[in-house]
């Protein structure tokens, strides 16, 4: 059976939409890249389970969240892109410090919800423009906080359609990642914070946002930090290494480096993904030549070159 025939068969059994050749440009912060061969936005868990159980093919599967940390190549993604739909955006309070969040909830919403319920420990989420699923995958964080510090458990599903509960204590988190397998889609997560008064929480959020405003550009097409800070090799931050290596004014086509934060690479509106990738490669090359330090990507590149 062809992919098209399989999709047609599945489509008859579910209410969620499955689309072909779906352009991914609007689904990522760079506004770059080609189309997904198959794009599936499950509205609910039943449809997702059914899809994963019945869609067996050699095509790769990739889940995306808010697209604030992905560079989609110009040739698009020759596989299935899954983006969780409306029933994955629930938020609820279990007890005084515990919150359950759907994976497609935006981090800012989670932070707002914690504030409304006087729960501290979620303030850092207000500065991260992704979704809860993406934040778990990336162990996102800032100002000494990250997801691993408040996560209790994750409800997930593997690409074969098996739902699994994962306890945070069994997961090895590290800076911007973990040992969680790639073939897992996070569905929801339970987090624990602590009761605090709203004014203190609000102040902390404002301070974080203020610090971000001072150090990071806004209103631009970027995916935030391009490279991880090479913590094991130097105490210097990536932006310092980029500056030291004279890369901060580098440009390829419409891809350039923000002059406010040298680890933020930007699409000026005319860039292609190839421009961005070439800029990334050039910076890597220059930095290793000048400092001996090999930079690792923080953002995720997906898809095929044209």
Ligand X SMILES: Cc1cc2nc3c(=O)[nH]c(=O)nc-3n(C[C@H](O)[C@H](O)[C@H](O)COP(=O)(O)OP(=O)(O)OC[C@H]3O[C@@H](n4cnc5c(N)ncnc54)[C@H](O)[C@@H]3O)c2cc1C
298 is catalytic: yes
Q: How far apart are the C-alpha atoms of 291 and 173, rounded to whole Å?
A: 28
Whichever of 64 and 201 has its CB closer to ligand X, that residue is: 64
Least gap, CB of 185 to ligand X (angstroms): 5
Catalytic residue, candidates 101, 225, 245, 273: 225
Least gap, CB of 295 to ligand X (angstroms): 16
Output DSSP code: residue 188.
E
Q: How far apart are the C-alpha atoms of 123 and 114, rounded to whole Å?
A: 8
Least gap, CB of 284 to ligand X (angstroms): 19
Whichever of 118 and 155 has its CB closer to ligand X, that residue is: 155
Q: How far apart are the C-alpha atoms of 91 and 114, rounded to whole Å?
A: 10
| Strands annotated E in 17-74 | 17-23, 35-41, 61-64, 70-72
Tokens 């997904």, located at residue: 36
Whichever of 135 and 293 has its CB closer to ligand X, that residue is: 135
Whichever of 32 and 142 has its CB closer to ligand X, that residue is: 142
Q: How far apart are the C-alpha atoms of 62 and 294, rounded to whole Å?
A: 27
176 is catalytic: yes
Catalytic residue, candidates 68, 176, 188, 277: 176
Tokens of 63: 């889940």
Binding site for ligand X (CB under 6 A): 29, 62-70, 84, 103, 127-131, 133-135, 137-138, 140-142, 184-186, 222-224, 300
Least gap, CB of 292 to ligand X (angstroms): 26
Least gap, CB of 291 to ligand X (angstroms): 23
Catalytic residue, candidates 101, 126, 131, 298: 298
Least gap, CB of 274 to ligand X (angstroms): 19
Whichever of 80 and 103 has its CB closer to ligand X, that residue is: 103
Answer for the pair 189, 101: CB distance below 8 angstroms, yes or no.
Answer: yes
Of 108, 144, 143, nearest to 128 by C-alpha is 108
Whichever of 119 and 187 has its CB closer to ligand X, that residue is: 187
Helix (H, G, I), strand (E, B) or coil at 155: strand
Query: Could you tell me the CA-to-CA distances from 53 to 39, 50, 158 in Å, in that order?
Result: 16, 5, 10
Tokens of 289: 């030549």
Q: How far apart are the C-alpha atoms of 81 and 60, rounded to whole Å?
A: 9
* Residues labelled catalytic: 176, 225, 298
């Amino acid at each position: 059976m062809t992919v098209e025939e399989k999709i047609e068969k599945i489509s008859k059994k579910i209410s969620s939409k499955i689309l072909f050749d779906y352009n991914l440009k609007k689904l990522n912060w760079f506004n770059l890249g080609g189309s997904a061969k198959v794009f599936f936005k499950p509205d609910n868990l039943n449809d997702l389970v059914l899809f994963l159980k019945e869609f067996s093919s050699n095509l790769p599967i990739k889940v995306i969240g808010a697209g604030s940390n992905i560079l989609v190549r110009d040739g698009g993604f020759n596989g299935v892109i899954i983006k969780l739909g409306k029933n994955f955006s629930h938020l609820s309070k279990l007890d005084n410090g515990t919150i359950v969040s759907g994976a497609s909830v935006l981090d800012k919403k989670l932070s707002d919800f914690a504030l409304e319920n006087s729960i501290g420990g979620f303030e850092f989420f207000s500065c991260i423009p992704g979704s809860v699923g993406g934040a778990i995958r990336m162990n996102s964080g800032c100002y000494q906080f990250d997801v691993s510090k408040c996560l209790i458990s994750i409800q997930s599903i593997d690409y074969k359609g098996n739902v699994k509960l994962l306890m945070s204590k069994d997961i090895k988190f590290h800076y911007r990642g973990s040992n969680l397998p790639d073939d897992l889609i996070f569905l929801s997560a339970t987090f624990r914070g602590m009761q605090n008064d709203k004014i203190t929480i609000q102040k902390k959020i404002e301070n974080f946002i203020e610090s971000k405003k001072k150090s990071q550009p806004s209103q631009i097409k970027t995916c935030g930090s391009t490279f991880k800070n090479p913590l094991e090799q130097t105490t210097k931050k990536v932006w310092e290494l980029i500056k030291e290596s004279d890369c901060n004014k580098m440009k390829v086509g419409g891809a350039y480096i923000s002059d406010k934060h040298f680890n933020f690479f930007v699409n000026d509106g005319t860039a292609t993904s190839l421009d961005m990738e070439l800029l990334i490669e050039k910076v890597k090359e220059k930095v290793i030549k000048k400092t001996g330090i090999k930079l690792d990507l923080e953002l995720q590149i997906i898809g095929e070159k044209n």
